[in-house]
Structure 1
C-alpha cells in the first residue's frame, strides 16, 4: 500500500491576531501527533503548518489510508487467579477474555491460546491478539477532534448552527470563532470527516476582496499554498507572510533613502502578519510638529494603537514618516495612504496634548497625590511605598557613595513614581519612568536625577540594559528590594507559573546589578537593611528571600553554561558578594580539570562527614601531639601551602588559590592511609580533628569542594 499526502484546513472568521501563530502551530502539531500515534503517519512523515487570519491548516506527508495491524500482548492476571487447581479457566479469566473480544465458547481452547510466564506465585497469563489498524476516515476524525479540543484558545465563543438532520432546529457550537468550511484531502480524495457542524470537502475561500475566484477549488493536497495564492490571493503560510512583510518594509525604507531605518518589533511583526492575508507595505507621513513630543510616546501610539512601523534615522531619532502593512493592493493606493494619515493624526494630537498638560505641573507637586493611590491593602499606598524606597535608597547610597550619593538617591526615589499620576502614563502605562525622566529635565532637575527616574525600573526584562548611573542603580536596587521584602514579608510568594508581582524578575534584576556592576554589598545584609523600612507591616522573611535570590542566581548560572555541580559547589557557601561568583566558578572549573581534583574532592567530603559526626570535638593543632609521620607531613605541607592560598584568595585570585591547595593531594591521601583519626587517646583525637578542621576551612574558602565528588 502506498502513502499520499494529507491536507486539512479549517476555514473560520477572523482569528485573534495575537494568538494566531500559536494556534496554527498547535493545530498542525496536535493533528500530526495523533496521526502518528495511530500509525497513520510514520517516521518519514513531516508536517507543515499554515495559518492566516481566516484559516488554520496542516499538510502532512506520507499518510497511510490504513495503519498496519499490530500484534499486541496483554498481561491478563496472575495464573493462580485465572486457572483453578485443574488448570481450567476460572470465571474471572473467561470474563476478561470476553471483554477483549476473544472466543470463549470453548474454555479449554481459549486457555490453550494463552501464554504463561514465570514460576510459582509470580506466574502470569498473557493474551496475544492482533489489533486492526485504524483507517484514515476514523483516524483523522479522532485526530481532528483531539486537535481542536486541545487548541490553546484564549477565549471560546458560542454560536448557533442550523441542524443538518431531518428534525428542524439549531445546535450550539463552541470554538474560538465561527467556522464556515472544512477541507480534508488525501491526495485528491476527500476524507469524509466532520467537525464543528461542517462536512469536509475540497473547496475553500480566498481573500475577501481580491480573490480571482470564489470558492477556491483545491485539486489535491500538494498544491494548497500555490492554489490559494493564485486563485485566492492569500499567502497561507504564516512564516512566508512574515518574511514578505520584513522584505517589503526594508525595501520601502530603502526607497526613502539611506537615512531611514525601520523599527522592527518582533511582537508587532507577528501581530501584523496575523492581520493580513496578502501584505502590501505603504509609506505614510505625519505633520513634523508632532516630533516635539518625546519619540517614545509617538512610537508607542503608532505601534500599539495603529499597528504601524515607525521610521528612524541612523541616530535612532524618529522621523515623521511611517510604514503601513495593508491587506489590499489597489492600483492607486493614495486613498489608503490618506486614510491612514488621517487616522494617526488625532492619536498623535492626543499624545501632544497629554505632554503639554503634564508639564504644567512639576513632579514634586505630584508627590502628595501618591498618598491617595492604593499600592497593596497590606502594604499601604504608593506614598507609603515611596517613603520605604527612599529609606532603603539612602542606606544603599550611603554604603556606596556616602552623603552625596545618599542625597541624590533620596531625591530621585522621592520623585520616581510621580509620573504614574500623569495623563501620558495613564494612557500609556508602558511609559512609566520614561516620562518621569522627561518631566524631570523640564523641571530643571538635571540629567543625573532624570536618568535615575527613567532607569529605576530597569532591568525590565531579560537582556534589558541596567541603569546608566550610580544614582539610578541605587534607586533601582531600592525599588526592587522594597517589592521583594514587602511581598515576602506578607507571604505573597510566587507559586508555579503565577508571579503577579514579578518577584522572579525583580530578584534577577537585583542579581544582575550586584554582579554586573560588581557592587561591594553583602546580599544578606542588603536584604536585612530593607526590613526596618516597613515597620510592623511585615514579618521578617530575610532568610526565605535570600534563599529565593540564590535559587534565581543558580538558574541563571546554569543557563550561562555552568554545570549544576559547579554552581552547587560555589553557592553552597552562600557567597555574600555576588560579583565574586563568576571568578569562583571559573576557579572551580579550572580546579576540576586537575588530576588531583577528584581525590581532593572525595577527601573533602570524607573530612566533612567526620567533622559532622564529631561536632563539638577538636582543638587548635599542637605540633607536639603530631605522632604519626603522615600527620606530621600533612601539617608541614599545610604550613607551607595554606598561607599562600589564603593570600591568593585575599587578592581575589580564586583560581590560583585552589591550584595551590591542589598540592595537598599526596599528604592528604597519606594521612587517611596511615592515621586513625578517632584515636583512643582523647588528646590525639582532638588534635587530629583540629588538623582536619583547619584543612577543611582552607579548602572550602572558594567553594564547597565536596560537591564535586562523584
Structure 2
C-alpha cells in the first residue's frame, strides 16, 4: 500500500474559504479514486492561508482486476441486435459470447475481464479533474491564463509512493508540472524545499515556520491569548468565530498584547469590540466583572527582532484612528434624542411595496400595544412597550450604526439610557431583534418580549402580504428565522396568546398603514378640501391609481396571510424534531386544527408522547387504528359517514354496551380535563378504554348481517375516533 500526497500552493486564500475548500478537494479526489476502483484506508485534508494539502493513505499501487458480465439478446435474435451487443461488449464475433438458460429463455452473455493497471497511471487525470472542479465562492484569472482560481496558483506537489506523479496542470498561458517542492513561511523561511512524503512534508513545514494543522494553530492562538490575558490581570473574551477566522490568517501564530487609549473607554463596549473584531481581528479582554478591559490581543504571522514592539505599536496606531471615528460619531449621536430621529425614518425605505421605516415603526407601536394588552400587562408596561417600539429603529440614523451596523439596537439602548428613559424601554430597544438564531438569547422582560414579537410578526405578515414567501432554500427576508424567533419567544416565556388573533391585528395595521392607503388618504383629503380647484400635484388619475393600488394590496394580503399559520406550524415541527420530538405526534395534534396557542399545543404533544410510550397507550393506539381503518373502509364503500350518535337500544352484545358506556364516561372525564388543560389526566382517562376495546374487537363482529346493527356498530367506532380526538388524531400516529 502507498501514500498519495497533494499540495496546492498559492497566494493567500480568504480565511472563510479555507476549510470548505480543503473538504471539497478531499471529497473530489476520494470520490474519483473510488469511481476508478482505487481503494484507500483514510484521507486527511489540511489548509493554511497559502496551501491546501491532502494525504490519502492505504492506496494500492495497482488497480484490482475487474470481471464484468453483460447480458445480451436472446439466442436467435435479429442480426442488428446481435451486432449492437457485440459492439457494446467489445467482442469480435458472437462465438466469444456464452449462452445461458436464465429460465426465461437462452440469452447471450459477454464476460469481460480487465487486468488492473498501475494506480499511478490513473492519478494525473484524477488530480487534474479535482483541481478544475474545486468550487470557489469567488475566483479570478491572472496574467494571460484562462484558468480561474481563487488566487494565483504557484506550484503543485503530487507524490505517490514517494515518487512524483507524471502530469501537469495547463493554465492556458503557462503549465504547472506536478513536483515535490513547496515553500515555507513567506518571511521567516523563504525559498523552496523538496519533500518525500507526508511525514517529511509536515516536519519540514514546521521547521520552515508553518503550522500545517489548523486545530494546532487554533490551540496555539487560544493558549497564547489566554496566557497573555492572565499576564495583564484580565481574562480573554470568548469568541470562537474570531478564533476560527484568525487561524486562517496566519501560518505561524505569534500572540501579542496592545493597549486601548483611556479616552476611548467611555464609548460603548460593543462599539469598541465590534471595531476591534470586525476591522482589525483583535481579541478583546475583560475584567473579572465582565467589563471591557483597556487591552487587546493581536495575533501576528511572524516573530520580530524587537519581540513584536513595532507590530504592537503599529496596531495601536491603526486602532486609535479607527476608534477616533467611533468616538466622534458617539459624541455627536448623543446630542440628538431618539424621538427627534423619527422623522429621518421617513427617508428610509423598508420595502418598495411596504413603505418607509417610519410606517413600519408606526405599525410596530400599535401591534406592541395590542400584544401587551393581550398578555395582561399593566398600564405602564403597555405604554412602555408602545414607546419602545416607536424608538426601536431610531438608532439606524445614527453615525455609529452607519459605521458599525452590527450594533443597531445596542446603540439605541445606550442613547435611551443617556436620555434617562426607563430601563424596560432601553432594554427593549436593544432586544427587539432577538432571538437572531437558535443559540441566541430569548428576551424575558415583558416590554422586550412585546416589542420583539411585534417586530417579527410585522415582518412575517408584511412579506407574506406581498407574496414574498420563502421558497426552497431561498429566504431573502429571513422569514423562517423570524417565525422561529416568534416560536421561541412564545414557548420559552410560556405566553398564552392566540397567534391567529395577533396575525389578524397585524394584517389590519398593514392594510391601514401601507403606502397605498396613506397616499389614497392624502389625495382624498386634498380633494375634499380643494373640491373644484385642482392643483397640479394631484388629479383624478392620481386618485384612481391610489385607489387601484389599495384595492390590489388588500386583495393580496387577504390571499397570502392565511398561509402564515401553516408556515408557522411547519417551523414548529422543524424546531421540535431537532429536539427529538416525533413528527407523527406533532402531526396528530395539529390535524385537529383550530389550535394556535403554542403553549397548549405543546402540552398536548408532551402528554401524547408520554402516553404512547406506555403499554396502555400502545395497545389503545393499536385498537384506535383498527377502529379507524375499519371505519374508513366501510364509509368509503357505503359512500356515507357514520358520525351520528350511537343508538343505545341497538347495542346487542355485552361487550359493545360496555364499550359504549366506557366511551361516554371517558369522554366526559377527558372533556373536563382538556378544558382544565390537564392533558396528562385526559390521557389517563383514555387508558380506561383499553380493556373494553380489547373485549369489543375480540367478541363483536362489526360487519354484522343485520344492516341496522352493522350501522350502529360503525357509529360506535366513529365515537371511538371522536372521543380520542379530544387530544389528537390517533390515525396520524405511526406504529
Same fold per superposition (TM over 0.5):
yes
Equivalence for 1:553: 572
Q: Give the Å deviation of 1:522.
A: 1.7
1: distance between equivalents of 2:343 and 2:718? 59
The structure 2 residue matched to 1:638, chosen from 650, 659, 663, is 663
Q: Contact (CA 8 Å) 2:350, 2:360: kept in 1 or not? A: yes
Which segment drifts farther, 572-581 or 304-313?
572-581
Q: Give the Å deviation of 1:23.
A: 1.1
Q: Contact (CA 8 Å) 2:124, 2:165: kept in 1 or not? A: no
Equivalence for 1:87: none
* 1:596 counterpart SS class: helix
Q: Give the Å deviation of 1:679.
A: 7.5
Q: Are residue 589 (structure 1) and residue 609 (structure 2) matched?
A: yes
**TM-score, reference length from structure 1:** 0.90
Equivalence for 1:15: 13
The structure 1 residue matched to 2:285, chosen from 311, 315, 324, is 311
Q: Are residue 98 (structure 1) and residue 87 (structure 2) matched?
A: yes
Q: Give the Å deviation of 1:567.
A: 2.6
Equivalence for 1:351: 326
Equivalence for 1:227: 204
Q: Contact (CA 8 Å) 1:181, 1:200: kept in 2 or not? A: yes
Equivalence for 1:200: 178
Q: Contact (CA 8 Å) 1:634, 1:671: kept in 2 or not? A: yes
* 2:688 counterpart SS class: helix
2: distance between equivalents of 1:605 and 1:457? 45
Can you give the 5+ residue segments of structure 1 that lack an aligned partner in the other structure?
A: 85-89, 161-169
CA pair 250-29 structure 1, distance change in 2 beyond 3 A: farther
Cα deviation, 1:526-577, whole Å, max 9, x if unaligned, reads: 3233211111534223431111111111111111012222232233234322
Equivalence for 1:662: 687
CA pair 393-245 structure 1, distance change in 2 beyond 3 A: same
Equivalence for 2:409: 433
Q: Give the Å deviation of 1:353.
A: 1.0
Q: Are residue 499 (structure 1) and residue 475 (structure 2) matched?
A: yes
2: distance between equivalents of 1:124 and 1:517? 72
Q: Are residue 604 (structure 1) and residue 627 (structure 2) matched?
A: no
**TM-score, reference length from structure 2:** 0.87
Cα deviation, 1:256-295, whole Å, max 9, x if unaligned, reads: 23xx221232221122111111000001111122110110
Q: How many residues are aligned here? A: 680
Cα deviation, 1:350-395, whole Å, max 9, x if unaligned, reads: 1111111111111111111211211111111111212222222222
Q: Give the Å deviation of 1:671.
A: 3.4
Q: Give the Å deviation of 1:606.
A: 4.6
* 1:496 counterpart SS class: coil
Equivalence for 1:83: 77
Q: Are residue 362 (structure 1) and residue 357 (structure 2) matched?
A: no
Q: Give the Å deviation of 1:673.
A: 4.9
Q: Contact (CA 8 Å) 2:444, 2:493: kept in 1 or not? A: no
Equivalence for 1:179: 153
Q: Contact (CA 8 Å) 1:117, 1:125: kept in 2 or not? A: no
CA pair 99-513 structure 1, distance change in 2 beyond 3 A: same
CA pair 685-390 structure 1, distance change in 2 beyond 3 A: farther
Equivalence for 1:163: none
Equivalence for 2:675: 650
CA pair 384-192 structure 1, distance change in 2 beyond 3 A: same
2: distance between equivalents of 1:546 and 1:707? 20
Q: Are residue 539 (structure 1) and residue 553 (structure 2) matched?
A: no
1: distance between equivalents of 2:409 and 2:128? 48
Equivalence for 2:140: 157
Q: Are residue 24 (structure 1) and residue 10 (structure 2) matched?
A: no
Cα deviation, 1:308-339, whole Å, max 9, x if unaligned, reads: 10101222210110000000111311111111
Equivalence for 1:250: 226
Cα deviation, 1:39-98, whole Å, max 9, x if unaligned, reads: 3333xx11121211111111111222221121122344x326x834xxxxx244334423
- Cα RMSD for the two superposed structures: 2.4
Cα deviation, 1:597-649, whole Å, max 9, x if unaligned, reads: 34422433354453765766544456445443223212322343333333333
CA pair 315-360 structure 1, distance change in 2 beyond 3 A: same
CA pair 119-682 structure 1, distance change in 2 beyond 3 A: closer
Q: Contact (CA 8 Å) 1:524, 1:542: kept in 2 or not? A: no
* 2:469 counterpart SS class: coil
* 1:172 counterpart SS class: coil
Equivalence for 2:317: 342
